[in-house]
């Protein structure tokens, strides 16, 4: 488990980034690196053959979370637990093939109201760039490869001066990596108010994050607010609320611009800016190959997105009998996203670019309703916990985007300022649903022998009726050897536990309605035509992963030395 003390020691902008190096068997990759991107997580490697479906299931305060992880504030997290083997993850069977990350947010504690502030400031910079040739080294290399061509270009008589190789040691020259990379600041601020009485506890927090990217034209900002409340209404009823809202803006002019590629290929004698402040561009060269000014592309291109996400989770616990609790829980997540992109037009003789713009908007919602009964009982040395429940989930989304080219002015970026004959528009809409039944049995004898068995049945709208349901069982056994009589007097051993587990988990991401026929369109001489976009497959069913695990937990010398060892096989 990764607790809040470990999280607070890390300077990270995302929840997933806080797991880097904090848990064995968990690989955290910052694939893209731009500000606001959440690192990808792989738990015990890839758990699926489906492309793009390798992320683990995130469960926030007991409810599956389908939002953007970059919009969660790591300062709001109390702890994170990783379910790696199928025996522990099978209870979340429908999407647990890649493991489960259980996130618990901070709650209020009994006591007077406490006000706390947490802030950090840092800078980011490139630690190593690719060594590049200067103008002298570049011309020297070209002369060695193409002496005849260079003699008529770089080493020619120009305006009464006969250029030599040594002349290129003294001309202004530029390392383009130094022009596009920068030292970027990052600051994070969080205010929290928490407290409560025996009957009501609360925690309210607000945070802001501003991160500039190490490449010009990239940054990320986030504003978030969260409220957690727990109320003991009476002896038999407890209610709670978890709610949050986050607003983000991500600027990324690097993506799609080719700026870094152009910076590595641009000639070293081309200036980033001319003396008058305008952007420098290539003049005619012997190759006939021209690259744009990457600094110009990063600064003048527009590419940013805004997102608003609202999350609400309300629950009630009803104590029906001694040890018997009924819980009902409803969670909903709403998000709205907009995207803006504009590329200006310019004509620099040897490099021309046409203006273009696009706009996009999308929204999505998902809700989860979960109800279950839990019974806990102790009978002598026997401890039993039984849980059975039902869960229903539904997701809805839609999007709209449009684009135009050939704008009259670079200063006006709205689509209606572009050429109407180039207008394009697209839209999409979809939904999915899952219904689940689940149960779990925990048995403990004398705190020495432990048994956990779970079974989950999931029905997904991604499959045809005859293949819709998947069954995901698991069994786990554990032996606390240190509680046996023959180890009671061994003071050096604080804990020694052997574990054995087996389980089946599933993956439903085959695509929406992939079992049926989808329609695709194409232009024809008679207008727009439609045809079958795929072959139907009503036998398409859940992807299943069988996992076997054996493990050892050992703690020695007042828990100063700890060893956790696991061996597993996934199929």
Q: State the pLDDT at residue 160.
A: 67
Distance CA 343, CA 122 (A): 32
Torsion angle (degrees, nearest 10) of CA 404, 409, 410, 415: -30
Question: Please, are residues 285 and 156 in contact by the beta-carbon 8 Å criterion?
Answer: no
Structure tokens at 301: 């291109």
Across the chain, which distance is largest between two alpha carbons, in Å? Answer: 105
How many beta carbons lie within 10 A of that of residue 112, not counting itself?
7
Size (the chain), residues: 571
**pLDDT greater at residue 398 or residue 493:** 398
Contact, 45 vs 106, CB < 8 A?
no
Lowest mean pLDDT among 9-23, 112-126, 167-181: 9-23
| The dihedral sign for the CA sequence 232, 237, 238, 240 | negative
| Rg of the chain on CA atoms, in Å | 30
Residue 183 pLDDT greater than 60, yes or no: yes
Count CB-CB contacts under 10 A for residue 325: 17
**CB proximity list for 11: less than 8 A, separation 6 or greater:** 120, 122, 186
Helices in 175-274 by DSSP H: which ranges? 176-180, 259-265
- Give the DSSP H/E element, type plus range, for residue 26: strand 26-29
Structure confidence at residue 534 (pLDDT): 76
Identify the pLDDT of residue 14: 75
Which uninterrupted H or E stretch holds 523? strand 519-524
- pLDDT score for 18: 74
Q: Average the pLDDT over 495-510 and give the result.
A: 86
Closest CA to 112 of 193, 30, 227: 193
The Cα–Cα gap between 387 and 437 comes to 11
Q: What does DSSP assign to residue 390?
A: E
8-state DSSP, 111: E
Least Cα distance to 347 among 290, 304, 401 occurs for 290
pLDDT tens profile 136-151: 888 888 888 888 877 7
What does the pLDDT average to over 538-549? 84
Here the tokens at position 162 are 């006969």
Give the H or E element holding residue 300: helix 294-300
Torsion of CA 316, 434, 42, 68, to 10 degrees: -70
pLDDT at 353: 84
Helix (H, G, I), strand (E, B) or coil at 183: coil
**Rounded-to-integer distance, Cα 172 and Cα 166, Å:** 13
Q: Do the bridges between strand 2-3 and strand 77-83 make them parallel or antiparallel, or are there none, so unpaired?
A: antiparallel
Three-state SS at 16:
helix
Nearest to 410 by CA among 322, 345, 475: 345
Using DSSP's 3-state secondary structure scheme, residue 257 falls into: coil
Out of 81-85, 160-164, 183-187, 388-392, least confident range: 160-164
Provide the 8-state DSSP code for 483: G
Query: Which H or E element spans position 561?
Result: strand 561-570
Determine the pLDDT at residue 528. Answer: 83
CB 455 within 8 A of CB 424: no
How far is Cα 130 from Cα 350, in angstroms, rounded to an integer?
27
Report the C-alpha gap between 359 and 403 in whole angstroms. Answer: 6
| Whole-number pLDDT of residue 159 | 63
pLDDT averaged over the chain? Answer: 86
Instruction: Please report, for residues 84, 135, 478, 544, the alpha-carbon distance to residue 570 in angstroms, rounded to integers and kept in the order given.
Output: 11, 55, 20, 10
Please tell me the least confidently modeled range out of 159-163, 462-466, 551-555.
159-163
Q: pLDDT (tens digit, 9 = 90+) per residue, 423-451?
A: 999 998 988 899 999 999 999 999 999 99
- Say what the pLDDT of residue 194 is: 94
Q: In the predicted model, what is the mean pLDDT of residues 69-96?
A: 79
Run of H or E including 311: strand 302-321
More confident residue, 401 or 67: 401
Given a cut of 60, is residue 23 above it in pLDDT? yes
More confident residue, 265 or 382: 382
Q: In sequence order, what are the residues at sequence separation of 6 or more whose Cβ sits closer than 8 angstroms to the Cβ of residue 450?
A: 442, 443, 444, 476, 477, 478, 479, 480
Nearest to 388 by CA among 327, 471, 319, 444: 327
Distances, alpha carbon 330 to alpha carbons 103, 239, 243, 394, 464, in Å: 17, 12, 12, 12, 27
| Each residue's pLDDT tens digit, 257-289 | 688 888 888 888 888 888 888 888 877 665 566
d(C-alpha 302, C-alpha 293), whole Å = 15
With pLDDT > 70 as the criterion, what percentage of the chain qualifies? 93
Single out the residue of 371, 487, 366, 422 nearest to residue 95, CA to CA: 366
Give the integer Cα–Cα distance in Å for 143 and 128: 29
**Residue 555 to residue 562: CA distance in whole angstroms:** 4
Give the C-alpha distances (Å, rounded to integers) separating 405 from 54, 292, 402.
37, 19, 11
The answer to whether the Cα torsion of 204, 39, 18, 209 is positive or negative is: negative
Rounded Cα gap, residues 531 and 462, in angstroms: 22
pLDDT tens digits, residue range 285-331? 655 667 888 898 898 889 999 999 999 999 999 999 999 999 999 99
End-to-end CA distance of the chain: 26
Find where tokens 């020691």 sit. Answer: 9
Verdict on whether the full-model pTM lies above 0.95 = no
Cα–Cα dist 393/368, whole Å:
4
């Amino acid at each position: 488990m990764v607790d809040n003390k470990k999280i607070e020691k890390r300077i990270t902008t995302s929840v997933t980034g806080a797991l880097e190096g904090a848990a064995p068997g968990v690989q955290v990759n910052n694939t893209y690196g731009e500000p606001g991107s959440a690192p990808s997580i792989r738990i015990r490697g890839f758990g699926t053959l489906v492309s793009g479906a390798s992320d683990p299931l995130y469960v926030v305060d007991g409810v599956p979370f389908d939002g953007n992880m970059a919009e969660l504030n790591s300062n709001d997290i109390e702890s994170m637990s990783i379910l790696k083997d199928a025996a522990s993850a099978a209870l979340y069977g429908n999407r647990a093939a890649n493991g489960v990350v259980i996130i618990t947010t901070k709650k209020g504690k009994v006591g007077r109201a406490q006000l706390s502030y947490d802030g950090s400031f840092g800078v980011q910079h490139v630690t190593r760039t690719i060594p590049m040739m200067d103008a002298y080294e570049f011309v020297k290399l070209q002369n060695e490869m193409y002496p005849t061509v260079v003699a008529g270009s770089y080493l020619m008589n120009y305006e009464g001066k006969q250029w030599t190789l040594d002349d290129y040691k003294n001309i202004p020259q530029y390392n383009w990596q130094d022009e596009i990379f920068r030292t970027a600041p990052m600051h994070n601020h969080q205010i929290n108010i928490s407290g409560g009485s025996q009957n009501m506890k609360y925690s309210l927090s607000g945070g802001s994050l501003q991160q500039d990217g190490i490449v010009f034209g990239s940054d990320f900002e986030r504003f978030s607010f969260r409220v957690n409340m727990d109320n003991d209404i009476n002896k038999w009823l407890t209610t709670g609320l978890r709610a949050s809202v986050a607003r983000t803006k991500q600027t990324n002019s690097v993506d799609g611009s080719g700026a870094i590629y152009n910076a590595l290929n641009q000639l070293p004698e081309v200036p980033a800016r001319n003396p008058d402040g305008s952007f420098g561009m290539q003049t005619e060269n012997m190759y006939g190959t021209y690259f744009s000014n990457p600094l110009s592309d990063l600064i003048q291109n527009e590419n940013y997105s805004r997102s608003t996400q609202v999350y609400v989770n309300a629950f009630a616990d009803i104590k029906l009998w001694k040890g018997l609790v009924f819980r009902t829980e409803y969670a909903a997540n709403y998000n709205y996203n907009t995207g803006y992109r504009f590329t200006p037009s310019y004509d620099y003789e040897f490099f021309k670019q046409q203006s273009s713009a696009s706009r996009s908007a999308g929204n999505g919602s998902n809700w989860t309703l979960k109800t279950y009964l839990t019974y806990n009982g102790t009978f002598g040395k026997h401890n039993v916990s039984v849980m059975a429940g039902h869960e229903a989930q539904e997701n809805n989304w839609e999007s709209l985007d449009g684009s135009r080219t050939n704008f009259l002015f670079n200063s006006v970026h709205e689509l209606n300022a572009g050429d109407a004959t180039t207008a394009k528009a697209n839209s999409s809409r979809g939904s999915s649903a899952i219904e689940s039944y689940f149960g779990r049995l925990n048995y403990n004898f004398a705190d020495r022998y432990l048994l956990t068995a779970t079974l989950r049945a999931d029905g997904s709208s991604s499959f045809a009726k005859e293949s819709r349901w998947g069954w995901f069982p698991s069994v786990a056994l554990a032996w606390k050897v240190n509680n046996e009589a023959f180890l009671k007097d061994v003071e050096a051993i604080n804990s020694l536990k052997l574990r054995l587990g087996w389980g089946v988990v599933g993956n439903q991401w085959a695509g929406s309605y992939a079992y049926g026929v989808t329609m695709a369109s194409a232009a024809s001489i008679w207008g727009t035509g439609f045809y079958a976009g795929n072959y139907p497959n009503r036998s398409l069913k859940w992807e299943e992963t069988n996992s076997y695990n054996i493990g050892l937990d050992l703690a020695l010398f007042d828990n100063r030395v700890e060893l956790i060892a696991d061996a597993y096989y996934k199929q």
